[in-house]
Amino acid sequence: MALDIAIWFDEELCGLCFANPNNSRRRIRIVRLEGRPREVHPLKNRIAPLAILVIEQYAQMIGGRFIEVQEPLEGAISIYQQLGFYFDAEDRLVKAVESLVS
């Protein structure tokens, strides 16, 4: 199981994300999340929030409890923290997934 996300605006590719759950499906790991770094595009500064929104929905569907960033780049940590991520007791950059209420 894996989640591949391509974020487009019209015919312009603006960002990509790859995430996959661990065997128990309790944790979804973001392996790669990136926008086009050197070029201005219509979704600049929106790639991470859009990708996290999709990953949260995916996690809820499969019963995931946490999203974890695998090897976050130093410069991206503050962006993840603005999106609700924090360092857990094991020094992993994670975000709790809210459960769906029926």
Q: Are 3 and 53 in contact (CB under 8 A)?
A: no
Q: Are 67 and 59 in contact (CB under 8 A)?
A: yes
44 within domain boundaries: yes
Q: Are 99 and 62 in contact (CB under 8 A)?
A: no
Q: How sure is the predictor about 17, in pLDDT bands with cuts at 50, 70 and 90?
A: very high
Q: Are 15 and 43 in contact (CB under 8 A)?
A: yes
Q: pTM of the prediction?
A: 0.90
Distance (Å, whole) CA 100 – CA 71: 28
Whichever domain contains 48, its CATH number is: 3.40.630.30
102 within domain boundaries: no
Q: Look at the chain and report how many structural domains it folds into.
A: 1
101 within domain boundaries: no
Q: What does pLDDT average to over the chain?
A: 92
pLDDT at 102 over 70: no
pLDDT of residue 77: 96
The pLDDT tens digits for 25-59 are: 899 999 999 998 777 888 999 999 999 999 999 99
Q: What is the span of the domain harbouring residue 52?
A: 3-96
